[in-house]
Structure 1
Amino acid sequence: MKLDILAIGVHPDDVELGCAGTIIKEIRNGKKVGIIDLTQGELGTRGSAATRHAEATAAAQIMGVAVRENLKMRDGFFKNDEEHQLQLIRAIRKYQPDIILGNVRKDRHPDHGRAGDLINDACFLSGLLKIETMDENGKPQQKWRPRYFLQYIQDWFYEPDILIDISDVIDKKMKAIEAYTTQFHTPTSEDGPVTYISTPEFKESLLARMRMLGRRIGVKYAEGFISDKHIGIHSLDNLILQET
């Protein structure tokens, strides 16, 4: 399945928190989008791998993605090494995305940064002809390098290189997040230990950041992305002009 955009998160719910608005918007624009979760989030304080799977499935349906796959790397203990790079390279070559959205390369949670580096390295290595991989049927895969790897902003704040207006899809993004009833505060949240992300204040801070980013481009809500690669445009017509 050829995808236009592949969103990658180390934990189920990372993608929803970081870039669900952009995903929903691009799907509305006719793009084919998929998600890969690297781990099952099995070390999370609340819930289990099974509940995370059910929640991720529900969130995927809300967003409307074409496919969601879990690579089942070990939560907390995966490495950016040859074994894991090859595992991700196979997935990249399978879906051949033009753009990858993934974890930022340094963040509060060490898994986020390690995943960001893994994604970055796999994106490059996937384009090398002499790295050979096989698909599920044992057939050789073609090399493939995405044009861009854009890192979504999670816990720590970074000045974004790109801002995407998600004002018209903010409600749907929040519904996708709230599909994780074991993780975040909702009217139907399951009981469990209080965590960093399970309080009402966490969702309030998430909305506040999206409002703050939106103000940067004169809209109500926005998501921000970082790129290690310079991004060009065909003309100035591609810019959103605003009064400040």
Structure 2
Amino acid sequence: MERRTLLVGLAHPDDEVGAAGTILAQKARGDRVVVVWLTRGEMTEAFGPIPAEEVAARRVEQGRRAGEILGVETRFLDFPDCGLQADSASAHRVARLLAEIKPDGLLTWGDAWGRGMRHPDHQASGRIFRDAVTLARIAKVVAPGQPHRRAAPVFTYRGAHSTIPAVAVDVEPYLDTIHELATFYRENIGFGERGWVEQRLRRAGEPYGLRYAEVFDAWETRPGIVPHLIPAEPTDVGEPIHPDRAQ
């Protein structure tokens, strides 16, 4: 079985709580998962009135610990918290990182408008990562690195009003570790209340007959219940991928 790489590209440490079970499901398949946060989350007020650099240092350490809980690689970039801009320069910078990581799939933020999900950094980070998937294919963008041209289907956090086809991941086998991660953040920054996590997973699973699920928009692949995000079957809707671009 070929080992795949899932890139989870987010804005702040703790954003990954919403995909913890899916990350663990991908790991259970034997795959590599890399979580990248574009900011260090320095704008949180969870630590009181201390300098932003000290907050950032604490948040980076939290990200490292979250990676240990999930058993994944973690990386931070230094874009400003609450100041992310989905511009060309940002997408080019992240494209160079993608060309290095060489993901077989991307999970990131989508264009949702519910409270929390509509945070400007969430919206911007999703756009940056989605643009970077395309830009990472272009040699002149990622030079002196090598372009990454393998197919890397996109999945995004699903908002209540999304009309994009959805995939549901059964995360019941990973419930204990999901709660371990959420408890870690709750104890350190006050986010991740157990009842909220439980309710969220149960509600997501109900339409699919699952006790606990995480559900995402499937931009390029078949919808339905899946054991993990990648590998995934491409959708038969839309224009076929040109073979010169698929590899």
TM range (shorter): 0.7 to 0.9
Counterpart CA distance in 2 for 1:127 and 1:142 is 5
Counterpart CA distance in 2 for 1:206 and 1:58 is 19
Counterpart CA distance in 1 for 2:174 and 2:142 is 40
Q: Secondary structure at the match of 1:72?
A: strand
User: AA paired with 2:182?
Assistant: I
Q: Secondary structure at the match of 1:100?
A: strand
Cα distance, 1:173–1:31 mapped onto 2, change above 3 Å: same
Match of 1:127 in 2: 137
Match of 1:118 in 2: 128
Q: CA RMSD in A?
A: 2.1
In the TM superposition, residue 12 of structure 1 has moved relative to its aligned partner by: 0.6
Query: 1:3–1:34: 8 Å Cα contact kept in structure 2?
Result: no
Of residues 69, 80, 91, the one that matches 2:97 is: 91
The TM-score normalised by the length of structure 1 is 0.78
The TM-score normalised by the length of structure 2 is 0.77
**Mapping 1:1-244, distance limit 5 Å:** 4-15=5-16, 17-47=17-47, 48-65=55-72, 67-106=73-112, 107-134=117-144, 140-144=145-149, 146-153=151-158, 156-159=159-162, 161-180=166-185, 181-184=187-190, 197=191, 200=193, 203-231=194-222, 233=233
The count of residues paired between Structure 1 and Structure 2 equals 209
User: AA paired with 1:12?
Assistant: P
In the TM superposition, residue 105 of structure 1 has moved relative to its aligned partner by: 2.4
In the TM superposition, residue 133 of structure 1 has moved relative to its aligned partner by: 2.9
Question: Any unmatched runs of 5+ in structure 2?
Answer: 48-54, 223-231, 235-247
User: AA paired with 2:211?
Assistant: K
Question: Any unmatched runs of 5+ in structure 1?
Answer: 135-139, 185-196, 235-244
Counterpart CA distance in 2 for 1:7 and 1:24 is 12
Q: Secondary structure at the match of 1:131?
A: helix
Q: Which structure features the higher share of helix residues? A: 2
Q: Percent identity?
A: 26
Query: 1:96–1:146: 8 Å Cα contact kept in structure 2?
Result: no
